[in-house]
């Protein structure tokens, strides 16, 4: 058990299980991208630990860059849009792999995919540590998924609860 702010979380997925699974995803990527030079686009903050563990297991020649998504900002025509902050490289003809911590409703990833595809890459795939299939509102093709999890709030291994918990070396879940 671990208490963060006002909530108590219980152990969910151990560090060993997480890192074994990430190594499996890495070896799939190594096979799939053999002879190519993937461009890893890491979405901060949540994906930082997942990304570092993943790329340590990927000996391919590759680029790794880090972006943030702005907080939601309303525009009259499109509603809530999150802009990509910090992307300086050109993605034309690149084989992009987006690295995310979690795909929950999928709304964030749906927008991100549209914005990345407008930049003209050769291909785009997604690697996400976690996915909540029961919460999905926008179906998305997720090529590399660490764990499919129930629709419950999780922290640790990069994911936070109100700013805390990202440094936990395992995943914890809020009991139902
Ligand atoms: P959507 O719903 O757009 O959400 O797929 C994506 C973002 O919501 C956050 N999120 C979580 N963060 N524990 C967290 O710490 C969770 O269980 C959780 N579910 C969603 C996260 O920032 C993700 O990028
Ligand atoms: Mg996130």
Residue 80 binned pLDDT confidence (cut-offs 50, 70, 90): confident
Task: Please tell me the distance between residue 119's alpha carbon and the centre of ligand 1 in angstroms.
Answer: 25
Q: Would you kindly state where each structural domain of the chain is located, as residue ranges?
A: 14-150
Global pTM exceeds 0.80: yes
Q: Is the C-beta atom of 53 inside 6 A of ligand 1?
A: no
The residue-averaged pLDDT of 79-103 equals 93
Q: Read out DSSP for 46-107?
A: TTHHHHHHHHHT--S--EEEEEEEPPPEEETTTEEE--EES--S--TT-EEEEEEEEESSSH
Residue 105 binned pLDDT confidence (cut-offs 50, 70, 90): very high
Ligand 1 atom closest to Cα of residue 160: 15
* Fold category of 14-150 in CATH: Rossmann fold (3.40.50)
Average pLDDT, the chain: 95
Interface pTM, i.e. ipTM = 0.94
């Amino acid at each position: 058990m671990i208490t963060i702010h006002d909530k108590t979380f219980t152990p969910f997925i151990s560090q060993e299980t997480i890192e074994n699974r990430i190594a499996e995803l890495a070896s799939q990527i190594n096979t799939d991208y053999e002879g190519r030079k993937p461009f890893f686009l890491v979405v901060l903050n949540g994906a930082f630990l997942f990304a570092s563990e993943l790329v340590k297991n990927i000996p391919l020649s590759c680029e790794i860059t880090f972006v943030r998504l702005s907080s939601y900002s309303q525009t009259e025509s499109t509603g809530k849009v999150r802009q990509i902050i910090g992307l300086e490289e050109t993605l034309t003809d690149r084989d992009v792999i987006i690295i995310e911590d979690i795909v929950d409703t999928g709304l964030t990833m749906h927008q991100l995919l549209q914005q990345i595809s407008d930049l003209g890459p050769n291909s785009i795939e997604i690697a996400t540590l976690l996915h909540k299939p029961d919460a999905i509102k926008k179906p998305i093709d997720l090529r590399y998924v660490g764990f499919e999890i129930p629709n419950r709030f999780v922290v640790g291994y990069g994911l936070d609860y109100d700013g805390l918990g990202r440094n936990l070396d395992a995943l914890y879940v809020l009991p139902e």
